Structure 1
Amino acid sequence: MTLLEQLNQDMKSAMKAREKERLSVIRMVKASLQNEAIKLGKDTLSEDEELTVLTREFKQRKDSLHEFKEAGRDDLVEKLNFEIEVLKAYMPAQLSEAELEDIIQSTIQEVQAASKKDMGKVMSAVMPKVKGKADGSLINKIVQKHLQ
């Protein structure tokens, strides 16, 4: 089942259950996917392109959540936490720190990185391997730890 089919099915179940907030999030994601398809001039997106859109939506909400927490906007924090939980259902399973460590260490050996100057090389090799499965800031932190 494609992501769009899953979203349509979940949208119907949210309508039947009268879950307005969940329905709203699903519609936003669906609209983002459709807008991306239009922007790229395609009828349907590949799985990789869908994952890119989902990751972007997820990251936007995480960034906004941080800003709202700092501003003391608890009403918006609660709403964003709910949206993030709904989005997590469509995201691939996240890698653990141990799994990330293994991937990063093997990538460092592959690209023969030795110092922090090679960080860009390592990051550009790691990111496609873990796309959508790990947070970029966590990856950055682990790479910095290994490249000292």
Structure 2
Amino acid sequence: MSVVERLNDEIKTAMKEKNQRRLDVVRMLKAKILDVNARGEVGEAESVKLFRSYAKTLAETIDLAKKAGKNEIAATTEAELAIVKEFLPPELTAEQITAVVQDVIAELGKDKSKFGLLMKTVMAKLSGQADGAAVKDILNKLLA
């Protein structure tokens, strides 16, 4: 089942259940895919990238709302983020990321001047299963 088909099924389910928040979030995810490709022909990897970007935006919104004392907005956004996370593969643990980073360092060499190449290679191997900031932190620790 393609991503768009799954989103369409989720839209139907949310409409039947009269779950407006879920319906709005799933429609937003579908709109993000259609914005990239009008025919909705976006692969799994591309959709994960789009959804992760949206999840990151929602997380930033939650932080800002909490800092501003807007707890109602933060709670609403947290509920939206939980729905978006249902469409994302589970993120790898720090230990799993470290293992991949160590493999890439063994393959390409432990040279801090190759940081960009190492980062790019690790991110390609992880294919959207880890946050770039977490990978960067682990890579910095191992290169130090």
Please say whether Structure 1 and Structure 2 have the same fold, judged by a TM-score greater than 0.5.
yes
2:77 is aligned, of 77, 80, 83, to 80
Which AA in structure 2 matches 1:20?
A: Q
SS in 2 for 1:53: helix
Judge conservation of contact 2:4–2:40 (CA < 8 Å) in 1.
no
Deviates more, 1:21-30 or 1:47-56: 47-56
CA distance in 2, matches of 1:69, 1:120: 34
1:144 is aligned, of 128, 140, 143, to 140
Deviation at 1:66? 2.1
Match of 1:28 in 2: 28
Encode CA deviations 1:60-107: one digit per residue, 9 max, x unaligned.
Answer: 112222222222221111111111110111101211111111001111
The two structures have a TM-score, normalised by structure 1, of: 0.89
Which AA in structure 1 matches 2:118?
A: V
Where do 1:59-98 residues align within 5 Å?
59-98=56-95
SS in 1 for 2:37: helix
Give the root-mean-square deviation of aligned CA atoms: 1.5
Aligned CA distance change for structure 1 residues 8 and 123 (closer, same or farther; 3 Å): same
Deviates more, 1:54-63 or 1:97-106: 54-63
Aligned CA distance change for structure 1 residues 144 and 25 (closer, same or farther; 3 Å): same
Judge conservation of contact 2:98–2:138 (CA < 8 Å) in 1.
yes
Where do 1:10-21 residues align within 5 Å?
10-21=10-21
Aligned CA distance change for structure 1 residues 147 and 124 (closer, same or farther; 3 Å): same
- Length, aligned pairs only: 144
**Structure 2 segments unaligned to the other structure (5+ residues):** none
Residue 57 (structure 1) aligned with residue 57 (structure 2)? no
**Structure 1 segments unaligned to the other structure (5+ residues):** none
